[in-house]
Amino acid sequence: MRRSGELEISLADVDVPEPAADEVLVRIEATPINPSDLGLLFGAADMSKANVSGSAERPVLTAPVPEKALKAMAGRLDQSMPVGNEGAGVVVKAGSAAAAQDLLGKKVALMGGAMYAQYRCIQAKQCLRLPDDATPAQGASCFVNPLTALGMVDTMRSEGHRALVHTAAASNLGQMLNRICLKDGIALVNIVRKQEQVDLLRLQGAKWVCSTESPVFMAELTEAIAATGATIGFDAIGGGKLAGQILTCMEAALNRNAKEYSRYGSTTHKQVYIYGSLDLSPTEIVRNFGFAWGMGGWLLFNFLEKIGPAAAQTLRERVAAELKTTFASHYSHEVSLAGALRMEAIAVYGQRATGAKFLINPGL
């Protein structure tokens, strides 16, 4: 992000780092493009005006950043920022510590940024050892989606709710959450945008699926919420009316059983957490659900900080144990590092559309 108002993304040659005693060097073989990566990758740049120059092997992408957005980006001007939240690969070099040596030659999953690279040096204790028969592609998305889905269920429980609502529910993350809820016996209300996504989730055993495309969406959502007793929701969309509509339907469901009119609405607390920004436009809340409500941001890293390392480790171990079942991810495209910077690729994954999930293989 240049002070002049231009975003530049390119591949940089860097020396392969030497692991310290407690570190390992991982050859990255698979790293996904998550919505959470796109924020750092593109920032507030206007990607409709992006341009790619350079060679096919060394593309250089530039895009203008609207002036008013530059202010919010003040902290990252004229800095080179490595990208990539998570990935998987093989440990090719290890420091002298036993924990590091134990991982030599093993497949591991890792989280911590800068994964869009051929090699990543990282502390041994930050690695999650993968089963021997797991492929790097299977292990590439061990953290962000699985821990986010588990974090939603954990947050639901710790804040005293017994069922939950999820939007963009046909996403990789949404399908994962559906599998967790089916396995753990938690009622989940899935909100999707299209009938084919309703069908997809139903095939995967989802009981409650509502499509915003339906002319009676609000009535159907209220019905599902009344049936499940959901009073907490997690919204990946962020912009527009949906987050507020969830609160509206929760209130309508609660008032079905109200014995008398209260001008202040139900006293049951209703909560929606916004954890993504698939829609970057403003959130619009029509406040027709009384006073016992909350909306707020939800971020995996803040959640992990809050529950502490021991509880986080328990979650990570569950992910490794159920890697090929509950926490399986699916990719529509596999590309090289240079391939991720091609305009045709960006045009697809930049849409953040359900079903279009990219995996980068830096070895290609």
Q: Is 286 in the site for a second copy (CB under 8 A)?
A: yes
> Looking at beta carbons only, is 205 or 297 nearer to a second copy?
297
Instruction: Examine residue 297 and tell whether it contacts a second copy (CB under 8 A).
Output: yes
Q: Which residue's CB is nearer to a second copy, number 155 or number 178?
A: 155
Q: What angle do CA 222, 236, 148 make, to 5 degrees?
A: 110
**Which is nearer to a second copy, 75 or 185 (by Cβ)?**
75
C-beta separation of 296 from 238 below 8 A: no
Q: Give dist(CA 332, CA 173) in Å, integer.
A: 15
**Using rule CB under 8 A, residue 282 touches a second copy:** yes
Backbone φ and ψ of 39, nearest 5°: -60, -45
Q: How many Cβ atoms are within 10 Å of 321's Cβ, its own excluded? A: 12
Shortest Cβ distance from residue 311 to a second copy (Å)? 18
**Mask for 76-115, x = binds a second copy (CB under 8 A):** x--x-x----------------------------------
Q: What is the DSSP string of 80-123?
A: -----SEEEEEEEEE-SSHHHHTTTT-EEEEESS--SSSEEEEE
- b/e map of 106-119 (b: 16 or more CB within 10 Å)? ebbbbbebbbbbeb
Q: Which is nearer to a second copy, 23 or 235 (CB)?
A: 235
Structure tokens at 239: 């912009």
* Residues 31-60 contacting a second copy, CB under 8 A: 39-40
- Taking residues 234 to 253 in sequence order and writing x for each that binds a second copy by CB under 8 A, - otherwise, the string is ----xx----x---------
Q: By CB under 8 A, is residue 218 in contact with a second copy?
A: no
Q: Which of 155, 172, 283, 361 binds a second copy (CB under 8 A)?
A: 283
Rounded to an integer, what distance in angstroms lies between the CA atom of residue 311 and that of residue 296? 23
Which 3 state secondary structure label does DSSP give 363?
coil
- Which of 234, 298, 331, 349 forms a contact with a second copy (CB under 8 A)? 298
Q: Which amino acid is at 183?
A: K
Helix, strand or coil, per DSSP, at residue 333: strand
Burial of 235 per CB tally in 10 Å (0-12, 13-18, 19+): buried
What is the rounded distance in angstroms from the CA atom of residue 144 to the CA atom of residue 87? 10
Number of residues that bind a second copy (CB under 8 A): 43
Binding-site member from 299, 328, 348, 356 for a second copy (CB under 8 A): 299
Q: Identify the residue among 236, 292, 319, 335 touching a second copy (CB under 8 A).
A: 292
Phi and psi, residue 88, nearest 5°: -145, 155
Binding flag, residue 277, a second copy (CB under 8 A):
yes
Which region among 21-29, 70-78, 94-102, 103-111 touches a second copy (by CB under 8 A)?
70-78
CB of 255 to a second copy, least distance (A): 7
Q: Is 264 in the site for a second copy (CB under 8 A)?
A: yes
Binding site for a second copy (CB under 8 A): 39-40, 72-76, 79, 81, 238-239, 244, 255, 258, 260-264, 267, 274-275, 277, 282-288, 290-299, 301-302, 305
